Amino acid sequence: MSNPIIGGHVSSSGGIFSSVERGENIEAEAIQIFCSAPQMWRATKHTDDAIEKYREAFKKSKLSSAWIHNIYLANLATDDKAMLGKSKNSIKNSLSIADQIGATGVVLHTGSHKGRGFDAVSSQIIDSLQEILSDTPKPPVLALENMAGQGGGIGASLSELGKLIRGVKSKRMAVCLDTCHAFAAGYDIRDTNGVDALFEEFEAEIGLDRLAVVHANDSLMDLGSNRDRHENIGQGFIGDEGFRALLTHEASAGIPFLLEVPGYPSEDGGKGEGPDIRNIRHLKSLRDG
Ligand SMILES: [Zn+2]
Ligand SMILES: [Zn+2]
């Protein structure tokens, strides 16, 4: 069995190519980046030169794969036409940049139905996803991320993600499994039994061949809280045993586990700056035994 790959989200400020060095600096084996400011609609322009520099740096690096996380503003479940158009454009932009830099795919928070219910919005989401895929180049995949279950977020259950993916009927549809979100949504992944049950449900509702990437985050909040608060690996309610069970399950073979954790404070007491060497090394130790 090939091991899971361990990496993390890194900043690409100063040029998209700078993310490669940041990934290597924290000993990541894979990276995730934003290709545009996550709280802004306006898409960041990447010059041909910046893309070329990224590709050169990536080729020379030890990184095995890269992912792009779409901006947070996008909502394919919105009832506002203009908002829906902007949302679709942001995802098309991310997928086309993924293609340019050779990233595996784009991770997407599908959106929120804001109380209208999943059934009221599912066909709009499916139509939108089909349009997005037909307007963007292969091969990058589009991975829908499971949600913590707050504010009408689409995809707190694996069955919702399965319904959308079956509806779109494309080989380019995939899933990003966020461990903190799953735990907050009520999936008890603190030990082997819970992790087995999660992957069994994943297989039944979606199919494990669609599992493309994991967001490896511990949870600051307890099981079923529906609150999305990430914690450093082993420091939250999921704990080391849960991550060991996730990393050693056969479903995780070859899958990138990307950290989106707060990180540890620096020695001079500064705030954590996101995924760091300490979290990466810790996750690797749980993988490698
Ligand atoms: Zn995530
Ligand atoms: Zn989250």
* pLDDT for res 266: 86
Residues with CB under 5 A from ligand 1 (ion): 178, 215
Beta carbons of 78 and 120 less than 8 angstroms apart: no
Chain centroid to CA 200: how far? 20
Residue 49 Cα to ligand 2 middle (Å): 33
* pLDDT for res 1: 63
CATH of the domain at 275: 3.20.20.150
**Which ligand is the nearest neighbour of the Cα of 146?**
1
* pLDDT for res 171: 98
Beta carbons of 231 and 183 less than 8 angstroms apart: no
Beta carbons of 162 and 144 less than 8 angstroms apart: no
**Which ligand is the nearest neighbour of the Cα of 153?**
2
Residue 107 Cα to ligand 1 middle (Å): 8
The series of mean pLDDT values per 10 residues for the chain, 289 residues long, is 94 97 98 96 96 98 98 98 98 98 98 96 98 98 98 96 98 98 98 98 98 98 98 98 98 98 90 96 97
Residue 126 Cα to ligand 1 middle (Å): 21
Position of tokens 């095995």?
64
| Cα separation, 230 vs 45, whole angstroms | 30
**Which ligand is the nearest neighbour of the Cα of 109?**
1
Residue 216 Cα to ligand 1 middle (Å): 8
| Cα separation, 285 vs 243, whole angstroms | 10
| Cα separation, 139 vs 101, whole angstroms | 12
| Cα separation, 91 vs 260, whole angstroms | 20
Q: Residue 155 belongs to what domain range?
A: 5-288
Residue 216 Cα to ligand 2 middle (Å): 10
For the chain, how many structural domains are there in total?
1
* pLDDT for res 232: 98
Is 215 in a helix, a strand, or coil? strand
| Token code pair at residue 26 | 């924290």
